[in-house]
Chain A
Amino acid sequence: MKKVVALLVVVAILAIVAGVLVTQPLTTPAPRPAEKIYVGYAFCLTGPFAGPAEDGIKGIRDYIRIVNERGGVNGREIVLLIEDNEYKPETTIRIFTRWKEQYKLSAFVTCGTHVVAAIYQMVAEARIPYSDTSMAGPFADARKYPWYFPAPLGSYTDHYRAFLKWFKDKWAGPRAPRLAIVWETKAFAPLVKPGVESYAKDLGYEVMVEVVEIGSTSALEQMQRIKAYNADVVATMLPPAETALVLRTAREVGLKAEFVNFLYSIYWEPLVERLGPLAEGTYFGAPFVPWGYDVPGMKDLLEAHRRFHPDDRHTTQYVSGWISAMVLVEALRRAGDDLSGENVRRAWESITNFDTKGLTPPLGFTPMDHRSTTTIWIWKIEGGKFVRVAEVTLPRDDGYLGK
């Protein structure tokens, strides 16, 4: 046995020495043609957000296809790498590792706030600009997360803040308005609630907080307490199923308050159809238009729909995917021939007053602030349709960057 161990040790040392000598030539990936731009999308094509993601990726694909048909970016074709990250951090890490080795990635895009938290460090070390469908405010602070660019649709916190500001401005009651925040403590809401709560207090709201955890089957007690509190506004920071539960229970207990919901739990046509009357009269903040909305920029989307998949039904997610691809392409265009991560990031941060022809307010970034816009549109659901009721512009430097 001792001989075997000794032999193993000798073999191990020899193998490591030999390996270190040959590591470089053997592990260096084969060079890729320089004229192509590789962008990786590790998207949640299965998992809880598979439905919206599927339509979102169509918007991205169609926009890139049109860009390539028109000669690409600075004469280079964009190659979209798309894989399902299963909404899991570990799968995303494996995909990223493989792509990083196989391709010279100019940008990497994922799906899921928890994925961003888990993988940011790895992508930042690789010095590759990184984006995601998530718009969690803390990650938009470029001083802490310089390689990360949230989806170019504002930040979740700003969506609520804009609504609260608008509501407060038109408030004419004899007392301070009362806000009830209903949140879950384990997914995205902990990244949203502190900023919203603090802003509401700054504005003069009286605030109460209730928790409805993901997977809850009842919100009766919470809604009864909110009713007893006589809340004027209820801000829900919950996934779709729990939002539906809260809306239904609120109706059952006779709660009379305005509801402002989480963007991804309401701003999707199939969800509104499923919610039916429960969604009626509720609000949300979002700086982009729904599918089919009458703005000049929609013409291109309708054309893509007619050409590529006329039988498909599209939604707001298609529009958001399209917009995120527009911003990405603009960053690549500004980067010119130097597609190093550092240069693409600088180019991305140089985007100001980017015109999406009405699909969004003008978009822009700075080296400190990666929120694409602080101009938020307030939407109300009326007759099953999204109706824009207001536009609120929040100052960028009001201390809420990173909240």
Chain B
Amino acid sequence: MSAPSGIYSKSYEDEIAIARTPIERLALIIGSILLLVFPLITPTYYSVVAIYIFIAIISSIGLNILTGFAGQVSLGHSALMAVGAYAAAVAARYAGLQFLPAIFIGGLAAACAGFVFGAPSLRIKGFYLAISTLLAHYIIFFIIHLPSVAPLLGVPHGFILPDVALGPFTISGTFRNLYFYYIALGLAVFSIITAHNLMRSRIGRAFVAIRDNENAAEVLGINVYRYKLLAFTISSFYAGLAGATYVYFVRVIIPGHFELRVTIEYIAIILLGGLGRIWGSILGSFIIIILSEGIRYITVTYLYVISPEVSAYVEAFKLVIYGAIIIVIILTEPYGVVALLRKVKQYFKLWPFRY
């Protein structure tokens, strides 16, 4: 981690600190307060959108670990989310597990599936790996829809999950979304911190080495195959955790939650935010969801008042506008919004001088 001039580490604790400068500490405190107070001072709708963002952060961190850090392509991400979601639902319904153990089981089940479907990465890479993970998507959905399995999973009527229970407390009723906001926030923070630390560890550096040059990594003594499988497994754990959290939020699980388009959306998130950066997943999730909701909100709230006809046209072209904005951002900064922000920061560090 690069630190500003004059900031140096005197102990190992200093070295691993998340916030190292007074400004970083201040930003951390203000950011934390804002996140904690946000659902209390805004309508529930905003909390719901924030919950979607937190869940997207968890899932996209998983995909970023695999694709951004370890350099492995996957088109089976949403199917692994489905594995986590169904495993958690089954654990909750049939074994009576509470929320936290159930979502942990979901994460583990997805990790196991990721381990199996990551195996082709031992032999193939690039487009071929993408296709093999795509097949994983279809295999998982085939299993979910098997006539002998589907009734157990409530396919297609929907599988209703119990209320979120944390020890003796059950979260339901009017403030359900408020409490779920804090749960999702906690899980997102947990995911960010664990991923951040993982990437600073031997494992994370091995992932990056494999991504940058597989042969060189092998020469350096990294067991490439082992670490590739590990990347698939860890990534899938995050996917499973996100899938399980999501279905607990919506209360009903159907396969339609995890269609292939969901994987495409997550790929867009990490490309837009920045590959190989935890912040890329955070910013990408935020931008993609806010963009989608923002266009809708402006269209139906403001444009409709001016002209229902214009509003209808904009509504129809919403996806085109959404796509165009993403293309413009990626063309402006191919390394994602994180890189763009870094350039902005550099500019103001030197301002008013160019060099």
Q: Does A190 contact B (CB under 8 A)?
A: yes
B41 lies within 8 A of A1 (CB): no
Set of chain B residues within 8 Å of A122, measured between Cβ atoms: 250-252
| Distance A191 CA – B151 CA, assembled complex (angstroms) | 11
CB within 8 Å: A-B pair count: 121
Known interface pairs A1-B17, A45-B316; A186-B40 also in contact (CB < 8 Å): no
Set of chain A residues within 8 Å of B251, measured between Cβ atoms: 121-122
Q: Does A389 contact B (CB under 8 A)?
A: no
Interface hit among A7-15, A66-74, A295-303, A367-375 = A7-15
| Distance A89 CA – B150 CA, assembled complex (angstroms) | 20
A190 lies within 8 A of B156 (CB): yes
A118 lies within 8 A of B33 (CB): no
A26 lies within 8 A of B41 (CB): yes
B247 to chain A, nearest CB (A): 10
Interface hit among B102-110, B126-134, B254-262, B345-353 = B254-262
| Distance A19 CA – B155 CA, assembled complex (angstroms) | 40
Interface size class of A (residues with CB under 8 A): 35 or more
Q: Does B48 contact A (CB under 8 A)?
A: yes
Set of chain A residues within 8 Å of B158, measured between Cβ atoms: 117-118, 120-121
B37 lies within 8 A of A15 (CB): yes
Task: Please pick, from B17, B48, B254, B300, the residue contacting A114 in the complex, using a CB distance under 8 A.
Answer: B254
Set of chain B residues within 8 Å of A15, measured between Cβ atoms: 33, 36-37, 40
B13 to chain A, nearest CB (A): 6
Set of chain A residues within 8 Å of B141, measured between Cβ atoms: 186
A94 lies within 8 A of B52 (CB): yes
B319 to chain A, nearest CB (A): 6
User: Interface 1/0s, chain A 360-384, versus B by CB < 8 A?
Assistant: 0000000000000000000000000
Q: Does B198 contact A (CB under 8 A)?
A: no
Task: Please pick, from B37, B178, B250, B318, the residue contacting A93 in the complex, using a CB distance under 8 A.
Answer: B250
User: Interface 1/0s, chain A 118-130, versus B by CB < 8 A?
Assistant: 1111100000000
Q: Does B333 contact A (CB under 8 A)?
A: no
Query: Using a CB-CB cutoff of 8 Å, which residues 41-61 of chain B contact chain A?
Result: 41-45, 48-49, 52
| Distance A27 CA – B41 CA, assembled complex (angstroms) | 7
Q: Does A83 contact B (CB under 8 A)?
A: yes
- Secondary structure at the B interface, as helix, strand, loop or mixed, is helix
| Distance A113 CA – B293 CA, assembled complex (angstroms) | 23
Set of chain B residues within 8 Å of A7, measured between Cβ atoms: 29
| Distance A86 CA – B318 CA, assembled complex (angstroms) | 10
B40 lies within 8 A of A23 (CB): yes
Known interface pairs A89-B254, A94-B52; A45-B315 also in contact (CB < 8 Å): yes
A121 lies within 8 A of B43 (CB): no
| Distance A38 CA – B42 CA, assembled complex (angstroms) | 23
Interface size class of B (residues with CB under 8 A): 35 or more
| Distance A27 CA – B293 CA, assembled complex (angstroms) | 20
B43 lies within 8 A of A118 (CB): no
| Distance A19 CA – B141 CA, assembled complex (angstroms) | 43
Task: Please pick, from B19, B33, B252, B257, the residue contacting A121 in the complex, using a CB distance under 8 A.
Answer: B252
Query: Using a CB-CB cutoff of 8 Å, which residues 1-58 of chain A contact chain B?
Result: 1, 4, 7-8, 11-12, 15-16, 18-20, 22-23, 26-27, 29, 45-46
| Distance A93 CA – B41 CA, assembled complex (angstroms) | 21
Known interface pairs A4-B29, A15-B36, A15-B37; A118-B45 also in contact (CB < 8 Å): no
A94 lies within 8 A of B45 (CB): yes
Query: Using a CB-CB cutoff of 8 Å, which residues 99-142 of chain A contact chain B?
Result: 101-102, 113-115, 117-122, 138
Max count, chain A CB within 10 A of own CB: residue among B29, B45, B48, B316: B45
Q: Does B157 contact A (CB under 8 A)?
A: yes
Query: Using a CB-CB cutoff of 8 Å, which residues 13-50 of chain B contact chain A?
Result: 13, 17, 19, 25, 28-29, 32-33, 36-37, 39-45, 48-49
Q: Does A387 contact B (CB under 8 A)?
A: no
B13 lies within 8 A of A191 (CB): no
Q: Does B196 contact A (CB under 8 A)?
A: no
A97 lies within 8 A of B45 (CB): yes
Q: Does A355 contact B (CB under 8 A)?
A: no
| Distance A46 CA – B43 CA, assembled complex (angstroms) | 27
Max count, chain A CB within 10 A of own CB: residue among B155, B252, B315: B252
| Distance A225 CA – B147 CA, assembled complex (angstroms) | 21
| Distance A402 CA – B320 CA, assembled complex (angstroms) | 40
Q: Does B211 contact A (CB under 8 A)?
A: no
B43 lies within 8 A of A117 (CB): no
Query: Using a CB-CB cutoff of 8 Å, which residues 226-281 of chain B contact chain A?
Result: 250-252, 254-257
Set of chain B residues within 8 Å of A121, measured between Cβ atoms: 158, 160, 251-252
A185 lies within 8 A of B145 (CB): yes
Set of chain B residues within 8 Å of A138, measured between Cβ atoms: 157
Max count, chain B CB within 10 A of own CB: residue among A1, A22, A101, A113: A1
Residue of A nearest to B19 (CB): A4
Cross-chain pairs A/B with CB under 8 angstroms, 9 sampled: A4-B28, A19-B41, A29-B43, A93-B250, A94-B45, A94-B48, A97-B177, A115-B256, A119-B250
Residues of A in contact with B (beta carbons under 8 Å apart):
1, 4, 7-8, 11-12, 15-16, 18-20, 22-23, 26-27, 29, 45-46, 83-84, 88-90, 93-94, 97-98, 101-102, 113-115, 117-122, 138, 185-188, 190-191
Query: Which 6 pairs from chain A and chain B are nearest by CB?
Result: A19-B40, A117-B158, A114-B256, A98-B45, A15-B36, A97-B48
7 further A-B contacts with Cβ under 8 Å, apart from A16-B40, A118-B250, A186-B141, are: A7-B29, A23-B175, A83-B315, A84-B296, A119-B250, A121-B252, A185-B145
